[in-house]
Amino acid sequence: MSQSPACPRIGVYVCHCGMNIAKQVAVEAVTEFAARLPGVAVARHYKFMCSDPGQELIQQDIKESGLERVVVASCSPLLHEATFRKACAAGGLNPFCFQMANIREQVAWVTADKGRATSKAKALIAAAVERVSRAQPLERKRLAVGDKVVIVGGGIAGIHAALTIADAGKKVYLVEREPTIGGHMAKFDKTFPTLDCAACILTPKMSSVKNHPNIELMSYSEVEKVEGFAGNFKITIQKKPRYVHEELCVGCGECVDACVFPKAKFPSEFDEGLALRKPVYMPFPQATPAVVVIDPNTCLQLTKGKCKQKCVEACQRGAIDLKQEPEQVEVEAAAVIVATGFKTFDPRGLPQYGYGRYGNVYTSLEVERMVNASGPTGGEVVLKDGAKPRSVAIIHCVGSRDKKTHPWCSRVCCMYSLKLAHLVKERSGADVFSFYIDMRTPGKGYEEFYDRLLEEGVHFIRGRVSHITDWAMTKAEEGKLVVSAEDSLIGVTRRIPVDMVILSVGLEPQPDAQEVRKKFNISCSQEGWFLERHPKLAPVATFTDGVWIAGACQGPKDIPDTVAQAGAAASEALALIDKGYVEIEPNTAEVDPEACSGCKTCLGMCPYHAIRRDEEKGVAVVNEALCKGCGTCVAACPSGAISQHMFTDDEIYQELEGILSYV
């Protein structure tokens, strides 16, 4: 092993990661190579460096061989940098005297040829060794954190997270953009697989939200701006005018009766357009808050400026205010949970299914309203003409598992289709034909629910529906909707005439997911679902500290999984608050006053206004608490007077030299 007096003593540890790395990279050869690099005092390879014995190896060598720098060649630093920094610290070494070489994600898993994988691993290790020789011991700064949480989206995810945090004694701002909380779940009559009544389990939670002393419910509101960082966010929320003073309204509905429109005339959003409402309305009887809202697009006073304003007269509490303006509120929060849910696929994108063309083709969400006892038909399943259907087809995977629409499986459609098959049969006695591709019922009690439906006499046909038409080819098809599909179990094409068709539409990201993502500085998957920090080990964290995600905004999921995520996000937010501080990565920038010419170039580079010019001394100064460590000012400084800790020019040039000098 080579030693040079100028170099610190370096330990190199090459991980096999079971066979993950060792299968592609000749770990022994790499270790021998590492042992001969300048400064390397110890080089070892081990099966699992992240395991306890692996970490102890490092600690022991630090103590016994007096290591001053450590390199671990294993997986991505995004996965285990923290682990090994801790191991270094436990061995008595400053955790920043450490460098990782990513030879799993960026070598073993992506390189077909073993010889070349080994060479690449050597180059990356040489780079890490060269770089770590220039690493400086650093200290993490601690900042105190607040104790409030902002939750965005008041579906079951947001509601559950809010109650969990509020019950723990912390203040929550729950921001919901619709006039009421409840999300999709509030629209359902029953939930699979237990068929328990959705309202019975949801409405008590909704009223707890309203009445909880620690929850401030901000309905009909949206987040405008997010500033700050984990523990100390400053969030601007815009309250849209509902033209009703929330604190005065008691939801009596006198104004709705008094409205100059004698009859409801406009499609109700909550009822998926199956019922009508007036310009002043309550979305549904259990709406929370139980406050009416006035729709600016249909109210005569608000659109034309001319109306007798009977609603204003009718309200004895003077709650209606047609001059209400949007209001901005600024709140402080330690953590944010984004729970903005999903939207359903619009089947107009698949014209062969005739949605919008044939009156009796419905989406599943419309039928959810129809089967709801407090819905537009009082729970009856009826055709457009009011008659009961005698036969109903349910078509799975509409807008799912199809390269032309969405490639993903929406996870809940098979189950909710089974639920709807049961409810339709129960309410109308109709014959139900269920067209599926694969029946996907993984989940506790789900397969049993499928078995139950098989026994209830639903006809299951395995095959994708090619089209739906009202063009009759036989007498029996006249006046019916004909569903045409290949029955792939018996290998024939079938035409099945029915009265009603239900399209089991898939789940897709909210249309404004991109804007929301940007506001909170989080990422989206290619499909537009919010991206978790790690698909297995950090399913509700994001790449932005202090921001968590929960529920269907992260990907299609059912209510049990949504609630589990909401609980997880809540407890992680609580853990941050409980800890009381955040540690800042010491990768901040620093100005060398001797070299700074005071040109102010850097001031314009910093998006956080972390740099100011000390007018007395005529030099730039970085405020460490505001600096987030991007390094943009460093690259811009014409005098080379700014350096970024952990990413100094010296370290990067050294890494570069290591990469290119050996292999």
Distance of CA 313 to the CA centre of its chain: 45
Task: Note whether 652 binds other proteins by CB under 8 A.
Answer: yes
How far is Cα 34 from Cα 37, in angstroms, rounded to an integer? 5
C-beta separation of 600 from 620 below 8 A: yes
C-beta separation of 225 from 519 below 8 A: yes
Task: Note whether 132 binds other proteins by CB under 8 A.
Answer: no
**Helix, strand, coil proportions of the chain in percent (round to 5)?**
30, 25, 45
- Biggest alpha carbon–alpha carbon distance for the chain: 97
Nearest-approach distance from CB 131 to other proteins, in angstroms: 9
Joined together, the tokens standing for residue 212 give 């909880």
| Residue among 128, 58, 133 at smallest CA distance from 92 | 58
| Residue among 138, 13, 1 at smallest CA distance from 70 | 13
Name the residue nearer to other proteins (CB basis): 6 or 492. 6
Name the residue nearer to ligand FAD (CB basis): 412 or 582. 412
Joined together, the tokens standing for residue 61 give 């060598």
By a kind-dependent CB cut-off of 5 to 8 A, residue 110 interacts, out of ligand FAD, other proteins, none, with: other proteins
How far is Cα 629 from Cα 586, in angstroms, rounded to an integer? 8
Q: What part of residues 72-91 is at the interface with other proteins (CB under 8 A)?
A: 76-79
By a kind-dependent CB cut-off of 5 to 8 A, residue 632 interacts, out of other proteins, ligand FAD, none, with: other proteins
By a kind-dependent CB cut-off of 5 to 8 A, residue 156 interacts, out of other proteins, ligand FAD, none, with: ligand FAD
Q: Which residues of this chain interact with ligand FAD, rule CB under 6 A? A: 152-158, 175-178, 183-185, 188, 191-192, 222, 339-342, 344, 364-365, 368, 412, 416, 419, 510, 512, 516, 551-553, 557-560, 562
Nearest-approach distance from CB 627 to ligand FAD, in angstroms: 30
Question: How many chain residues touch other proteins (CB under 8 A)?
Answer: 67
Name the residue nearer to ligand FAD (CB basis): 183 or 347. 183
Name the residue nearer to other proteins (CB basis): 377 or 601. 601
| Residue among 432, 429, 269, 445 at smallest CA distance from 365 | 269
How many alpha carbons fall within 13 Å on the CB side of residue 605?
21
Task: Note whether 657 binds other proteins by CB under 8 A.
Answer: yes
Name the residue nearer to other proteins (CB basis): 114 or 357. 114
Name the residue nearer to other proteins (CB basis): 102 or 372. 102
Residue type, 25: V
How far is Cα 544 from Cα 555, in angstroms, rounded to an integer? 18
Nearest-approach distance from CB 372 to ligand FAD, in angstroms: 11
By a kind-dependent CB cut-off of 5 to 8 A, residue 518 interacts, out of other proteins, ligand FAD, none, with: other proteins
Task: Note whether 387 binds other proteins by CB under 8 A.
Answer: no
Q: Sheet containing 215-218: which strands, arranged edge to edge?
A: 215-218, 171-175, 148-152, 335-338, 547-549
Nearest-approach distance from CB 173 to ligand FAD, in angstroms: 11
How far is Cα 489 from Cα 359, in angstroms, rounded to an integer? 31
By a kind-dependent CB cut-off of 5 to 8 A, residue 630 interacts, out of other proteins, ligand FAD, none, with: other proteins
Nearest-approach distance from CB 541 to other proteins, in angstroms: 13
Residue type, 224: E
C-beta separation of 275 from 376 below 8 A: yes
Provide the H-helix boundaries in 66-197: 77-90, 114-132, 156-167
- Three-class SS state of 59: helix
Name the residue nearer to ligand FAD (CB basis): 31 or 191. 191
Distance of CA 287 to the CA centre of its chain: 25
| The binder of other proteins chosen from 203, 309, 377, 587 (CB under 8 A) | 587
Nearest-approach distance from CB 148 to ligand FAD, in angstroms: 17
C-beta separation of 12 from 44 below 8 A: yes
Name the residue nearer to ligand FAD (CB basis): 98 or 188. 188
Name the residue nearer to other proteins (CB basis): 214 or 632. 632
| The binder of other proteins chosen from 194, 351, 407, 653 (CB under 8 A) | 653
By a kind-dependent CB cut-off of 5 to 8 A, residue 185 interacts, out of other proteins, ligand FAD, none, with: ligand FAD
Nearest-approach distance from CB 558 to other proteins, in angstroms: 24
Nearest-approach distance from CB 539 to other proteins, in angstroms: 15
Beta carbons within 8 Å of 547's beta carbon, 6+ residues apart: 230, 335, 336, 337, 338, 520, 521, 522
Nearest-approach distance from CB 4 to other proteins, in angstroms: 6
C-beta separation of 224 from 264 below 8 A: no
C-beta separation of 176 from 291 below 8 A: no
In sequence order, the β-bridge partners of residue 643 are 590
How far is Cα 263 from Cα 580, in angstroms, rounded to an integer? 56
C-beta separation of 530 from 517 below 8 A: yes
Task: Note whether 319 binds other proteins by CB under 8 A.
Answer: no
Name the residue nearer to other proteins (CB basis): 111 or 428. 111
Task: Note whether 479 binds other proteins by CB under 8 A.
Answer: no
Provide the angle, in degrees to the nearest 10, between the axes of the packed helices 649-661 and 114-132: 150
| The binder of other proteins chosen from 144, 373, 489, 656 (CB under 8 A) | 656
| The binder of other proteins chosen from 28, 56, 64, 113 (CB under 8 A) | 113
Nearest-approach distance from CB 428 to ligand FAD, in angstroms: 18
Nearest-approach distance from CB 180 to ligand FAD, in angstroms: 8
- Three-class SS state of 364: helix
How far is Cα 293 from Cα 285, in angstroms, rounded to an integer? 13
How many alpha carbons fall within 13 Å on the CB side of residue 95?
14
Name the residue nearer to ligand FAD (CB basis): 23 or 234. 234
C-alpha separations of 571 from 237, 353, 432, 447, 587 in Å: 24, 44, 43, 31, 28
Nearest-approach distance from CB 535 to other proteins, in angstroms: 8
Task: Note whether 545 binds other proteins by CB under 8 A.
Answer: no
Nearest-approach distance from CB 214 to other proteins, in angstroms: 32
Q: Which stretch binds other proteins (CB under 8 A): 30-38, 194-202, 233-241, 397-405?
A: 30-38
Q: Which stretch binds other proteins (CB under 8 A): 41-49, 366-374, 428-436, 604-612?
A: 604-612
How far is Cα 541 from Cα 555, in angstroms, rounded to an integer? 14
Q: Phi and psi of 362, rounded to 5°?
A: -120, 160
Q: Which residues bind other proteins (CB under 8 A)?
A: 2-4, 6-7, 36-38, 76-79, 102, 104-107, 109-113, 116-117, 119-120, 123-124, 127, 130, 133, 518, 521, 523-526, 531, 535, 543-544, 587, 605, 607-608, 628-632, 634-636, 644, 647, 649, 652-657, 659-663
